[in-house]
Amino acid sequence: MTTMKAAQKRAQAKVEYNAFLAGCPSRQLLDRISDKWVVLILCALGGDNSPGQPGAAQAVAPKAMRYSEISRLLAGVSQKMLTQTLRSLEHDGLLTRTVTPTVPVTVSYELTELGLSLHHMTRGLRNWAQAHMAEVLANRETYDSRTS
Amino acid sequence: MTTMKAAQKRAQAKVEYNAFLAGCPSRQLLDRISDKWVVLILCALGGDNSPGQPGAAQAVAPKAMRYSEISRLLAGVSQKMLTQTLRSLEHDGLLTRTVTPTVPVTVSYELTELGLSLHHMTRGLRNWAQAHMAEVLANRETYDSRTS
DNA sequence: GTGCCTACTTCCCCATGGGAAGTTTCTCTC
DNA sequence: GAGAGAAACTTCCCATGGGGAAGTAGGCAC
């Protein structure tokens, strides 16, 4: 990484982000997006936040949301973390922040195209978690009974 | 969500893990897997850990790895965190831990089928990070120049 | 004027994670 | 036979990060 000829550098520039290397920017990016609040915010803005009508195919349409809406949906997030996470996502160009100077000012957040592409991943994560919950729970019990 | 008939409740029982609810087990599961070390370990064991020959199609085959191998691959992970994360993944049935009583004992970790299914997700995350790195970097610069 | 609204920011405190050194059990070397 | 060394942890200490709660701005309603 430190000693490298220009030709190699050029060849690497396109492909050679290796998230396993601690210093690699893609590793830092992975660190940032492998965060529970990031995943949840992406899911929320991505649109798979319908109140859970069972059986109804969830309408998965990206949707702009206000700060308070997100705050309400992501039960348990502290305001500090929410603001902080939203800022970093805006910083990375994953979402846009729009201030509307209404009575009390309203702020709305919306995924960019880039954010939308990441949303496909986080959506998969969330669905995985919900789909395999039972299995994991069963595994935990098996594990605990084996070791107790 | 609060007012619900028994019929609906029954219908929900199967499907209705909602990761947005703070108390929901699937939320806790999502919290656990939305972790940088979890993602990296899954990627490592999933097999997309080739030393980065640019251009060469990465051989993506799940692979058992020893503790020290993982430790070396995931530059920057502390032993404490690595052990802790591996334990929790084993606990959830995402990987198996096998002790071989050789000279100094060797321990190898391997993904279970469940872990493998999650690996598809984390692999996507990692690839996304590496693929969109440049774009994110550009966005950061734009953002910084706009606000400075 | 008092109070309330949204979208934050700030302060304090505790839990979590990093760094490094210690532990165990064996075998190999001097 | 004393000591080194190796793998996989475990333990201890301390800094950072995240939660909880309270404070801020500023415009409108009462």
Residues 6+ apart with CB under 8 A from B18: A52, A130, B24, B26, B27
Write the residue in B26, B91, B118 that is nearest to A143 by C-beta: B91
Residues 6+ apart with CB under 8 A from B133: A17, A25, A26, A29
Nucleotide minimizing C1' to CA distance for residue A105: C6
Whether the pLDDT of residue B1 is over 60: the answer is no
Mean pLDDT along residues B70-94: 94
Task: With cut-offs at 50, 70 and 90, classify the pLDDT of residue A15.
Answer: low
Q: pLDDT for A30-50, tens place per residue?
A: 999 999 999 999 999 998 765
Instruction: Give how far B104 is from chain A: nearest CA, Å.
Output: 24
- Mean pLDDT across chain B, nearest whole number? 84
Nearest residue in chain A measured CA to CA from B143: A91
Q: pLDDT for A137-148, tens place per residue?
A: 999 999 988 876
Distance in Å from D7's C1' to B130's CA comes to: 33
Instruction: Give how far A103 is from chain B: nearest CA, Å.
Output: 25
The larger pLDDT score, comparing residue B12 to residue A41, is at A41
Sorted by where each starts, the structural domains of chain A and their CATH numbers stand as: 16-147 (1.10.10.10)
The larger pLDDT score, comparing residue A6 to residue A132, is at A132
Query: Strands, DSSP E only, in chain A?
Result: 65-66, 95-100, 106-111
Nearest residue in chain B measured CA to CA from A144: B91
Instruction: Let me know if B76 is exposed, middle or buried by CB neighbors in 10 A (0-12, 13-18, 19+).
Output: middle
What is the C-alpha separation between B53 and A93, in angstroms, rounded? 29
Task: With cut-offs at 50, 70 and 90, classify the pLDDT of residue B15.
Answer: low
Whether A49 sits inside 8 A of B20 (CB atoms) is yes
Write the residue in B25, B74, B75 that is nearest to A133 by C-beta: B25
Residue A83, CB, less than 7 Å from strand C? yes
